[in-house]
Amino acid sequence: MALVQSVIILAQEHIQFQKVTFTQAKELAKKENKLIFLDGFTSWCAPCKWMESNVFSQPEIAAYFNSTFINTKFDCEVGEGIAIAKHYQISSYPTYLFLDGQGTLIYRTHSRMEADLFLKQAKQANDPNYQIPNLRRQYAQGMRESNFLLRYIKVMEQTDGKAADAAKKALDSVATDDFLRSPNGWETIKMMARSLEDRYGKFFTSNKAYFKSIAVPAEFANKERQLLQYAMYGYIRDNKAEEFKAGVAYFEGLDDAQQKVEAALYKVEWVAAHGTENEFVAITDDLRKGLLKDEDERLSFIARRNANTKGTPANSVILKQCYVLAKQAAELNSASYSNQGTLADICIALKKKKEAIQAAEAARGLAELETSKIIKLADATLARAKSL
């Protein structure tokens, strides 16, 4: 008896997926007047497994889904799941579909997410204001009110990218300043602001105090950081030294080790664009011995980016320093195709034949785990190394 009770309790604390065919699921949905929740997954998908273990097992999630939906799951690379994936154009995993008894798509979302967001998505699937057929019908009838367009775009971004893009253009023409200075306006800023120079980025900058007062702190900080990240490359391109220094100070002041790394990379970009050869060597030496001493991908990126500009090898001083960076990256992680390929290319430019062949052969071996295009590139690199 205790064992049976334990099994019942466990089932109640996990989404109960029914072992039925898709046709049977639709029949159940009609009979019980519920939507189908369809989990489109694959056996190799790590985010799918994470959701299964960490979200589907949450009591609140289980209670809502088990009482509200006909829950099904299909491996999109096996059996009936293949046809389902093709019909509903599932190409990333996990993808979550909410369907009616006819199989009509009512709502769609995807990817790994925390339990609170997953539950919010499920509740929106049951809300007529967020259901795809209703939204499409209203849009086709000419509805262009700002709050409606915001809701339409959010849903269509998960479903129909072209429809979402068209609606964004419509929103541009009707989103007044009064609308933007509101909670829904903040949702629009989060979605639409791409740079400090576009309309939404400028509005965010000029109304920061207001948005900071209403936004979730992490979301406000994320948007502020995102806009400044985009701006930094413009500052470098346009040689705006004061703005650049202020941006670096911002990133260095964040309580986040990766943002300090980003600040260092911006400084390398600045020196590469506006500094001297000796300054480039000095700053990259400091980084490879300090902040980036264990960051093979970052070191390889700097080497690759600066060893060759638009098809022209860098001058000998820069090229030799890029070799030092690339060699350190390959020593830190010799099993990286990118690291070995970068080292091989730089050795070829420096006419270090023996080392070039060694790195190119290592890259070619690692390319077997990559795409056919990468294999061809690795073959070409090895041929160039041998022809020195």
Supply the DSSP string of 75-121, one letter for each residue.
Answer: ETTSTHHHHHHHHTT--SSSEEEEE-TT--EEEEEES---HHHHHHH
Domain that holds residue 100: 2-126
CATH of the domain at 50: 3.40.30.10
pLDDT one-digit tens code per residue, 251-268: 999 988 889 999 999 999
The reply to whether 231 falls in a domain is: no
pLDDT computed for residue 139 by the predictor: 97
The reply to whether 204 falls in a domain is: no
The reply to whether 343 falls in a domain is: yes
Kindly report the backbone phi and psi dihedral angles of residue 386, in degrees, each rounded to the nearest multiple of 5, phi listed first. -70, -25
pLDDT computed for residue 161 by the predictor: 92
Residues 302-327: what's their mean pLDDT? 89
User: What pLDDT band is residue 314 in, cutting at 50, 70 and 90?
Assistant: confident
- Tell me if 215 sits within 8 A of 184, measured CB to CB: no
- Tell me if 95 sits within 8 A of 108, measured CB to CB: yes
Q: What percent of the chain has pLDDT over 70?
A: 96
Taking residue 196's Cβ as centre, other Cβ atoms within 10 Å add up to 16
Q: What percent of the chain has pLDDT over 90?
A: 92
Taking residue 7's Cβ as centre, other Cβ atoms within 10 Å add up to 10
Boundary of a domain, candidates 74, 92, 126: 126
User: What pLDDT band is residue 310 in, cutting at 50, 70 and 90?
Assistant: low
The reply to whether 297 falls in a domain is: yes
Boundary of a domain, candidates 111, 126, 141: 126
Residues 114 and 55: their CA atoms lie apart, in Å, by 7
pLDDT one-digit tens code per residue, 37-87: 999 999 999 999 999 999 999 999 999 999 999 999 999 999 999 999 999
The reply to whether 11 falls in a domain is: yes
pLDDT one-digit tens code per residue, 137-196: 999 999 999 999 999 999 999 999 999 999 999 999 999 999 999 999 999 999 999 999
The reply to whether 364 falls in a domain is: yes
The sign of the torsion formed by the CA atoms of 88, 93, 98, 100 equals positive
The reply to whether 215 falls in a domain is: no
Is the model's pTM score more than 0.85?
no
The amino acid present at 257, given as its one-letter code, is A
Q: How buried is 280 (Cβ within 10 angstroms: 0-12 exposed, 13-18 middle, 19+ buried)?
A: buried
Boundary of a domain, candidates 75, 110, 126: 126
pLDDT computed for residue 12 by the predictor: 60
The reply to whether 213 falls in a domain is: no
Residues 300 and 311: their CA atoms lie apart, in Å, by 18
pLDDT one-digit tens code per residue, 358-384: 999 999 999 988 888 899 999 999 999
Report the domain count for the chain: 2
CATH of the domain at 307: 1.25.40
